[in-house]
Amino acid sequence: MKQSEWELIRALQRRARPVPGVRVGIGDDAAVLAGTARHDWVVTTDLLVENVHFLRQAQPARALGYRALARSLSDIAAMAAVPRYALVALAVPPELATSWAREFFAGLLGLARRHKVALAGGDLSAAERIIADVQVLGIVEKGQAVARHGARPGEQIFVSGALGASRLGLEVIRAGLSSVWPPLKRAVRAHLYPQPRLRLARALRRRFPLTAMIDVSDGLSTDLDHLCQASGVGAVIYAAQIPAVRLPLPIARRLSVSGLELALHGGEDYELLFTLPASAARRLKALRRRAATHLPARLAGVRLHHIGHVVRGRKIMLVDAQGRARQLFPGGWDHFARTKRAR
Amino acid sequence: MKQSEWELIRALQRRARPVPGVRVGIGDDAAVLAGTARHDWVVTTDLLVENVHFLRQAQPARALGYRALARSLSDIAAMAAVPRYALVALAVPPELATSWAREFFAGLLGLARRHKVALAGGDLSAAERIIADVQVLGIVEKGQAVARHGARPGEQIFVSGALGASRLGLEVIRAGLSSVWPPLKRAVRAHLYPQPRLRLARALRRRFPLTAMIDVSDGLSTDLDHLCQASGVGAVIYAAQIPAVRLPLPIARRLSVSGLELALHGGEDYELLFTLPASAARRLKALRRRAATHLPARLAGVRLHHIGHVVRGRKIMLVDAQGRARQLFPGGWDHFARTKRAR
């Protein structure tokens, strides 16, 4: 994996020794802080920088505002917490001025309303490039936040929804392809307006003993690696079971990429990746109509895919449709290593 | 005053209607959120952008890390709250890489330790310019946070410490002046390592019925205007009573600026500006050794200066040493209006 970002995070973890009140600290999707007698606080911050995380012309202001909040809400979902308050730091180039910022906030506030999140404050300034940093504070029942580090060998690995659509949408926008064709339209929408899996995460937490969870923001290969590293385990996943976006052949040729590649390394899907003990995994897989045994399980309106299992060691192996296994390396988004390819 | 930033904040205030749990929302130094039965949570976010808020070559990484946290701690101080946790979003140009970031965090963590603030999490990425956004979560006794909006006509206005030193330090750095001479050295230090007035704010809160408080981050003229606007009042302040940084004449000539101008419009002093009823103001002014009636009051090791009083209306008047009054307009830092002059 690309080491630079992780090395720095680890150096900080060493320096920031355990502090009373910090239940889960640096290195997870969000920090978990001791709150009231019955609840913990969950806090997350996510930075969006123009030309690094997005291109201005590929992203209407409204979509950007939506996505800036959606990213943080997804982090809250990954802890199985409930979001409450948001703070927004926004820097806007002078040539864009306030009308752009109004659109940005319209997108952000629309999503906030849907999830009953209150905009509690923020900070506005100017900059040469658009910068948005959104913090979300949420709550979770005391000791019940789901961290990344609890996966154990023998447990089963699941992922929600479909993977790769967001990246496909981005490629469609960048290639200037028409998106009137429904599959491409859906992909563009998945990129611009991803749905944080808040309801699903809470439903999962209520019904299943989740041992580890993370949101797929950097791509399955990278985020599974994060989960495995935090848990000190390896994994075996099966290509045929990964819910990869379906890619029309002409588009696959034009972009010279496969649906599986987009699913493994695309990122920004904001789906949930989680692990369960075997018995709970069987219960989860039974969550479907009896007649529909060929379909994946569903919860809170979202499909749940059993993609593999946790093993000893540190390697992640990908088994292809022919049963051949090869080691999977994180090919997702490492911010320090891939700056040049602005998304 | 420069309207653009305030117009946007007001538009957002209108859209973000009162929400249960948000005691003080958009437009104050920090948001106050309902926490436990005995405490409220105080949350703030502050964005530092290269070429907007600082110049890379004028600011060692360690000082920048320090200052990124100091700004947010100062917001927490302005609410008379106690900081607990910090989250840091940092974007670093690839050419600076991790050694720069380590220095940044060394500065930040040093200040955090001094105030018993735990680094609870963050977000790292790359960008063309350095971006640091620091959030701090603190606590305050229920209903006891000091907002900006409580000042009433007849009350007295105080400011802590000295004003203008930070801006003088910045000008010294920018002009490439030697800073071995003690007054200039102190000014450079005031700019690079400002001290958030946390201990002072708590001591004030315990002993005096503060009606409004704000930290001087944009300059006295701008921050007094913010306080007056929020409270719906005006003010009269006296030039001779403003604790302006002392400016050696050759430096004043070279920079063509006076100590009073730096004090009024310089900004980034992170001192406290607050209001008190007249009786409490008398008590506060008595906080000095009996023999030292010519010196200002002191609390928590910091001087407190009585600079004027609150009046009806909306105007802020500055009375000069000859007793002439003129209207004072916010000449401090409006991010939307003064982008070109990167500090």
Note the pLDDT tens digit of each residue in A319-328: 999 999 999 9
Tell me which residue range forms the domain holding B319: 156-327
Q: Residues B172, B273: one domain?
A: yes
Enter the tokens of residue A285.
């897989």
**Res B5: pLDDT:** 58
The C-alpha of A266 sits at a distance from chain B's nearest C-alpha, in angstroms, of: 17
Q: Residues B160, B109: one domain?
A: no
Asked if the model's pLDDT at residue A8 lies above 80, the reply is: no
Contacts of B33 in chain A (CB under 8 A): 84-85, 120, 137
Nearest CA in chain B to A7: B98
The answer as to whether A148 is a domain residue is: no
Looking at the DSSP assignment, which residues form a beta bridge with residue B125?
A: B91
Of A70-74, A225-229, A272-276, B22-26, give the lowest mean pLDDT range. B22-26
Is B335's CB within 8 Å of A126's CB?
yes
The answer as to whether B129 is a domain residue is: yes
The C-alpha of B53 sits at a distance from chain A's nearest C-alpha, in angstroms, of: 9
**Res B8: pLDDT:** 65
pLDDT-above-90 percentage for chain B: 57
Predicted TM-score (pTM) of the model is 0.82
Asked if the model's pLDDT at residue B295 lies above 60, the reply is: yes
Nearest CA in chain A to B20: A118
- Chain B 34-73, residues with CB within 8 Å of chain A CB atoms: 35-37, 41, 43-47, 49, 51-53
- C-alpha A37/C-alpha B12 separation (Å) is 33
Place of tokens 């209607």: B17
The answer as to whether A342 is a domain residue is: no
B contact test, residue of A131, A136, A148, A218 with most B CBs within 10 A: A131
Predicted confidence (pLDDT) per residue in B214-239, tens digit: 999 989 999 999 999 999 999 999 99
- C-alpha B342/C-alpha B339 separation (Å) is 6
Between residues A208 and A173, the one the model is more confident about: A208
A336-340 average pLDDT score: 37
Q: Would you say B204 and B210 are in contact if contact means Cβ atoms under 8 Å apart?
A: yes
pLDDT confidence bin for B247, thresholds 50/70/90: confident
B contact test, residue of A2, A12, A14, A22 with most B CBs within 10 A: A12
A284-297 average pLDDT score: 80
Q: Would you say A73 and A195 are in contact if contact means Cβ atoms under 8 Å apart?
A: no
Asked if the model's pLDDT at residue A218 lies above 70, the reply is: yes
Of A11, A16, A125, the CB nearest to B52: A125
Is A120's CB within 8 Å of B36's CB?
no
Of A14-18, A43-47, A83-87, A207-211, give the lowest mean pLDDT range. A14-18
Asked if the model's pLDDT at residue B120 lies above 50, the reply is: yes
Is B125's CB within 8 Å of A52's CB?
yes
The C-alpha of A74 sits at a distance from chain B's nearest C-alpha, in angstroms, of: 14
Of A47, A88, A118, the CB nearest to B131: A47
Predicted confidence (pLDDT) per residue in A105-142, tens digit: 999 999 999 999 988 887 788 888 899 999 999 999 99
Number of domains in chain B: 2
Q: Residues B203, B253: one domain?
A: yes
Contacts of A21 in chain B (CB under 8 A): 84-85, 118
Q: Residues A181, A319: one domain?
A: yes
Q: Quick count: other Cβ atoms within 10 Å of Cβ B280?
A: 17
Contacts of A88 in chain B (CB under 8 A): 45
Rg of chain A over Cα atoms, rounded to whole angstroms, equals 20
Domain's final residue, options B141, B168, B189: B141
Domain's final residue, options B87, B114, B141: B141
Predicted confidence (pLDDT) per residue in A78-99, tens digit: 999 999 999 998 888 888 867 8
Pairing of strands A131-141, A272-276: unpaired
The C-alpha of B83 sits at a distance from chain A's nearest C-alpha, in angstroms, of: 13
**Res B64: pLDDT:** 95
Q: Residues B203, B83: one domain?
A: no
**Res A18: pLDDT:** 55
B107-121 average pLDDT score: 92
Report how far Cα A211 is from the mean position of its chain's Cα atoms. 17
Is A47's CB within 8 Å of B91's CB?
yes
The answer as to whether B150 is a domain residue is: no
**Res A342: pLDDT:** 36
- Chain B 128-147, residues with CB within 8 Å of chain A CB atoms: 128-129, 131, 133, 135, 137
Contacts of A121 in chain B (CB under 8 A): 25-28, 30-31, 43-45
The C-alpha of A50 sits at a distance from chain B's nearest C-alpha, in angstroms, of: 8
Q: Residues B96, B166: one domain?
A: no
- Chain B 200-219, residues with CB within 8 Å of chain A CB atoms: none
The answer as to whether B94 is a domain residue is: yes
Is residue B249 less than 8 Å (CB to CB) from chain A? no
- Chain A 71-130, residues with CB within 8 Å of chain B CB atoms: 84-85, 87-92, 94, 97-98, 101-102, 105, 109, 118-129
Chain pair A-B, CB pairs under 8 angstroms? 219
Contacts of A133 in chain B (CB under 8 A): 45, 47, 89, 123, 133
Enter the tokens of residue B81.
């709250």
Q: What is the dihedral of CA B150, B151, B153, B155, to 10 degrees?
A: 120
Is B49's CB within 8 Å of A131's CB?
yes
Asked if the model's pLDDT at residue A338 lies above 90, the reply is: no
Domain's final residue, options B93, B114, B141: B141
The answer as to whether A333 is a domain residue is: no
Is B135's CB within 8 Å of A335's CB?
no
Sign of CA dihedral A263, A268, A269, A270: positive
- C-alpha A80/C-alpha A87 separation (Å) is 20
Q: Quick count: other Cβ atoms within 10 Å of Cβ B198?
A: 23
For chain A, give the mean pLDDT.
Answer: 87
A contact test, residue of B54, B55, B124 with most A CBs within 10 A: B124
Percentage helix, strand, coil for chain A under 3-state DSSP, each rounded to 5: 35, 25, 40
The answer as to whether A337 is a domain residue is: no
- C-alpha B122/C-alpha A72 separation (Å) is 12
Predicted confidence (pLDDT) per residue in B157-200, tens digit: 999 999 999 999 988 888 888 777 888 899 999 999 999 999 99
Residue A186: give its domain's CATH number: 3.90.650.10
Q: Residues B49, B75: one domain?
A: yes
pLDDT-above-90 percentage for chain A: 57
A248-264 average pLDDT score: 88
A contact test, residue of B7, B45, B50, B51 with most A CBs within 10 A: B45
Is B45's CB within 8 Å of A123's CB?
yes
Range with top average pLDDT, A3-7, A92-96, B51-55, B68-72: B68-72
For chain B, give the mean pLDDT.
Answer: 87
Predicted confidence (pLDDT) per residue in B144-168, tens digit: 999 999 999 999 999 999 999 999 9
Q: What is the dihedral of CA A198, A200, A202, A204, to 10 degrees?
A: -150
- C-alpha B203/C-alpha A147 separation (Å) is 39
**Res A215: pLDDT:** 96
B contact test, residue of A32, A87, A334, A340 with most B CBs within 10 A: A87
The answer as to whether B332 is a domain residue is: no
Predicted confidence (pLDDT) per residue in A129-182, tens digit: 899 999 999 999 999 999 999 999 999 999 999 999 999 998 888 888 877 788
Q: What DSSP string runs through B226-274?
A: HHHHHHT-EEEEEGGGS-BPP--HHHHHHHT--HHHHHHH------EEE
Nearest CA in chain A to B342: A127
Residue A61: give its domain's CATH number: 3.30.1330.10
- C-alpha A137/C-alpha A84 separation (Å) is 6
**Res B18: pLDDT:** 55
Q: Residues A95, A196: one domain?
A: no
- C-alpha B314/C-alpha B318 separation (Å) is 13
Q: Residues A184, A52: one domain?
A: no
Q: Residues B293, B162: one domain?
A: yes
Q: Residues A59, A169: one domain?
A: no
Q: Residues A128, A224: one domain?
A: no
Is B128's CB within 8 Å of A52's CB?
yes
pLDDT confidence bin for A339, thresholds 50/70/90: very low
**Res B212: pLDDT:** 97
pLDDT confidence bin for A340, thresholds 50/70/90: very low
Enter the tokens of residue A312.
């000893």
